Structure 1
Amino acid sequence: MNFDLALALFWSKKLLAAALLPPLGPLLLIAVGLLLLGRHPRIGRVLAWCGVAIALLLMTPASVGWLARGLESSPPVSAAALAPAQAIVVLGGGKRDHAPEYDGETLNRLTLERVRYAARLARSTGLPLLVTGGKTSGEQAEAVLMAAALEDEYGVKVRWIEGAARDTRENARFSAALLQAAGIRTIALVTHAAHMPRSRAAFEAAGLNVVPAPTVWLSGPDDGVALLDFLPNANAAFAGWLAAHEWLGRLAYRLSR
Structure 2
Amino acid sequence: MGGDSERASSSYWNSKIRSTISKQTGYSQSSFKYVDGDQGFSASTRIKAGLIKGKADAASIYARMKKTMKGGKITEQIQFITHSRGSAFGKGYMDGVSAEIANLAKKEGIEFAYGAGNIIEYSVNLAPHQSNSIDYKDNGSKNVNISHVGDYLSGDDGTGNVVNVESAETNAFDQHGNSTYNNELNFILNVLNNNKKKSNLLNEVKAAYNKYNKDAGKRDRPVITSGSN
TM-score by length of 2: 0.29
Q: Which structure features the higher share of helix residues? A: 1
Q: RCO higher in 1 or 2 (8 Å CA, sep ≥ 6)? A: 1
TM-score by length of 1: 0.27
User: Considering only CA atoms, is the larger Rg found in Structure 1 or Structure 2?
Assistant: 1
